[in-house]
Structure 1
Amino acid sequence: MLPPSLPSRNGNGSGSGMVHPDDAIRQTDDDASSSRASAISLGYLTDPFSSILYKPSFSLGTSSSTTRKPPLINIGTHHRTIGIDTLVNQFLDSDGGQVGKQIVSLGAGSDTRFWRLVSRNDPPKISKYIEIDFPHLTSPKAHRISRSKRLNSSLSPTYKISQGGTRLDSSNYTLLPLDLRPTPTKSIHQLLDEHVLPLLDPDLPTLFLAECLFPYIPPEDSQNIISWFGSRFGDCIGVIYEMSGLDDSFGKIMKRNLASRNLSIPGSEPFPTPQSQAQRFLDPSLGKGMFENSGVKTLWQVREQVIDSEELQRISKLEILDEIEELKLVLEHYVIAWGIKGDKLTMSKITL
């Protein structure tokens, strides 16, 4: 059975013993980054920035102590990356790529997407890229960026570090330490209005990305995040990656595995099917923040319908995979869903 590494968020955990109530969630960052590092080391993916931003932790009892992951995880990581990259690239290329775009990555951890994009031979026009995570995770990332010429040379024209080393700002990139959960005195909308909106231009097309963040927070919180983006930006796309269909035997085992690590996924319960993940963007309760259309694909559908045959043939030679039915079972329990609003993005026909 697949360990709970595939559904983890992007990023890098602390590597220390769990002494904080959120440490179990923070550790999922290390799971995801170690899975990506495994896929990169075996040739599934190419990412020259991963080894700079991700430093493996070797905490007793964590899955990250082993660099090489099973083929099922490596293939899942590859398919997840291709699917999300496809949507992000279509967004950046909409309107011919002439208009500056904004991206907000929620729970970004050690993600390298910003550097992968700006290092292209023909980089897309990104007006602002924001990464948000716990201060505990933004602090080591800010430190690594500041120490790496390869990373900080992409920040224009200069950058500064503040808030005790947990925040980094430049004109095109911000690493923001922020707990996205509401407080007794501030709603999620108020938190985002105060900390995120001043960094963005509401008139520019904006994409928000949430890779396995929403399962770990109450569903009302994730819907409030979706509604905030939909209400603040006329042209907006949301992309989420999550587990789905957890009422069957596979899902029950996954939830037991997560529970053994002090993890629960309350945000997944109201969205038991792939279609329900797409429908969450169209919920009338979102009000002004409701999106205009949405779509969803399981990772198995990404494999069958999105990834070209030559790429599938290439990765099939990297490792031996005996059980294609087991692969299908696993990939059908993970989805990439998206919602779109605004004439500019709707006409661009962004889809998988």
Structure 2
Amino acid sequence: MRVMATADDAIMAKLSACLYGYYDDPFLSHFAQNARSSTHEGRQASSSLGQISAAPCRHSAGRSQDASGAQQQQPLIRRGTHARVCCIDRAISSFLKLAAVSHNQIVILGSGKDTSYLRAKAGIIHHHSADDSSSFAHLTQNTHWYEVDFSPLITSKCKLLSSCPSSHFTIVSVLDDTPSFSIATNDISTKKATANSSSHKFNYHLVSHDLNHSTKHLLSTLNKQFEFQFDSPTLFVMECVQMYLPNSTTTEIFTAISTLCREPIIAIYDPILMNDQFGKVMESNLSRAGLINRDMSLIQTRTLEQQFQKLKCTGFDQLLGCNMMEAYESIVTPQQRIRANQCEMLDEIEEWILIMRHYCFIVAGKSSASLSLPDSSIT
């Protein structure tokens, strides 16, 4: 399935950025080892989006199966990937600090081969205070972390976790169409557990679920089997997930989260086509690649304002957001920008600005929640 293949594109783009020194993620080389090249159409679609990992969604431009393939990506891809990672990291680290309570939750929708949990447990996810890595990792002790994606991707992630040489985490529970599996990475052992068995000792959960299906059912399953609590502060992360879902489906996702969860926050990274020529080219190439159609959110929600309006209509009345060029200048820290500049020169400044203006980063919450968003920025 073409959408699932974008998970490989994403991790190869991130690996490329890490190999060039943009940021640190010691887990990427392991989780990228089985990544495969996209179809020609997929690479063409990624290229049309400016060949930037801030490019299509869960992915980025064409790459190959190993580190040499990651090395071959263009500076625009790496710079955009870095910006994307910095923004998502900022949302996660800010949430963990704000939600320093006995129980909080992070749900990665369309997680692919995401390594944020491992980086958080290792204390190397972005945090902009003087805290050392061990004290930051301590913030995750009360966090239940859920990764949700298609069954084949969850199965693949499960296998990669079971062979991961690092053990910054302890127990993983997996919900698939078959009985659940729990992985104890300290001794790299795997054991079966029934879908109805207690999972209170787990805090990292891999869940098989097609996001085209009912979000209410998903949340109910998490509640019944994996201690998901509707009244606990919860951060939902969606990185270029909306663009591959029908607009009606994303509306249902937001409505279900807003209705069922008392303290929800959503962090969204997505392209915005707008109505200019560049956006029309993006749309045309993605359509030809068979990745989108007219019903998709990417087509129906073309601007930042339309993104805000959809969130407001589904119950989120606290909204912070901007295009990625603005995010790069405000959310990405000066130290991170300096590090990026030291990694390699970026000559295509006009193209960079154009591409970044066609992506957005949004954080949404509810004013009725006790965990409020900051007034003007993500702290």
TM-score (norm 2): 0.77
Hey, what does 1:91 align to over in structure 2?
95
Q: CA deviation at 1:343?
A: 3.2
**Do the aligned partners of 1:296 and 1:338 also contact (CA within 8 Å) in 2?**
yes
Q: CA deviation at 1:64?
A: 2.3
Among 340, 361, 366, the residue aligned to 1:336: 361
Superposed CA RMSD in Å reads 2.3
Among 305, 308, 314, the residue aligned to 1:275: 305
**Do the aligned partners of 1:142 and 1:166 also contact (CA within 8 Å) in 2?**
no
Relative distance call for 1:110 and 1:166 in structure 2 (3 A) is farther
Q: 1:154 and 1:100 mapped to 2: Cα distance?
A: 18
Hey, what does 2:15 align to over in structure 1?
37
Q: CA deviation at 1:195?
A: 2.5
Code of the aligned partner of 1:101: N
**Do the aligned partners of 1:242 and 1:335 also contact (CA within 8 Å) in 2?**
yes
Q: CA deviation at 1:60?
A: 6.1
Q: CA deviation at 1:127?
A: 2.9
Q: CA deviation at 1:314?
A: 2.3
Relative distance call for 1:161 and 1:201 in structure 2 (3 A) is closer
**Do the aligned partners of 2:104 and 2:232 also contact (CA within 8 Å) in 1?**
yes
Hey, what does 1:204 align to over in structure 2?
232
SS in 1 for 2:207: strand
Q: 1:301 and 1:160 mapped to 2: Cα distance?
A: 38
* Percent of residue pairs bearing the same amino acid type: 27
Code of the aligned partner of 1:273: T
Q: CA deviation at 1:162?
A: 6.3
SS in 1 for 2:300: coil
**Do the aligned partners of 2:176 and 2:208 also contact (CA within 8 Å) in 1?**
no
Q: CA deviation at 1:113?
A: 0.5
**Do the aligned partners of 2:174 and 2:205 also contact (CA within 8 Å) in 1?**
no
Q: CA deviation at 1:34?
A: 1.0
Among 253, 257, 262, the residue aligned to 2:285: 257
Hey, what does 1:155 align to over in structure 2?
170
Hey, what does 1:78 align to over in structure 2?
82
The answer to whether structure 1 residue 109 and structure 2 residue 108 are counterparts is no
**Do the aligned partners of 2:174 and 2:206 also contact (CA within 8 Å) in 1?**
no
TM-score (norm 1): 0.83
Q: CA deviation at 1:311?
A: 2.6
The answer to whether structure 1 residue 130 and structure 2 residue 108 are counterparts is no
**Do the aligned partners of 1:138 and 1:166 also contact (CA within 8 Å) in 2?**
no
The answer to whether structure 1 residue 241 and structure 2 residue 241 are counterparts is no
Q: CA deviation at 1:177?
A: 0.9
Q: 2:376 and 2:91 mapped to 1: Cα distance?
A: 7
Among 152, 169, 177, the residue aligned to 2:208: 177
Q: Structure 1 unaligned runs (5+)?
A: 1-22, 183-187
Bigger CA drift: 106-115 or 302-311? Answer: 302-311
CA deviations over 1:272-328 (Å, ceiling 9, x no partner)? 211222232211xx3xxx123111121101112222333322211222211211110
Relative distance call for 1:319 and 1:202 in structure 2 (3 A) is same
Q: 1:263 and 1:279 mapped to 2: Cα distance?
A: 25
Q: 1:162 and 1:275 mapped to 2: Cα distance?
A: 37
Bigger CA drift: 204-213 or 239-248? Answer: 239-248
Hey, what does 1:64 align to over in structure 2?
63
SS in 2 for 1:64: coil
CA deviations over 1:91-111 (Å, ceiling 9, x no partner)? 11115x244310111110100
Q: Structure 2 unaligned runs (5+)?
A: 44-61, 124-133, 183-198
SS in 1 for 2:343: coil
Hey, what does 1:308 align to over in structure 2?
333
The number of equivalent residue pairs is 317
Bigger CA drift: 331-340 or 298-307? Answer: 298-307
**Do the aligned partners of 1:94 and 1:348 also contact (CA within 8 Å) in 2?**
no
Bigger CA drift: 198-207 or 162-171? Answer: 162-171
Q: 2:93 and 2:306 mapped to 1: Cα distance?
A: 25
Q: 2:283 and 2:153 mapped to 1: Cα distance?
A: 25
Among 137, 147, 155, the residue aligned to 1:139: 155
Relative distance call for 1:318 and 1:347 in structure 2 (3 A) is closer
Relative distance call for 1:166 and 1:301 in structure 2 (3 A) is farther
The answer to whether structure 1 residue 214 and structure 2 residue 245 are counterparts is no
Q: CA deviation at 1:194?
A: 4.0
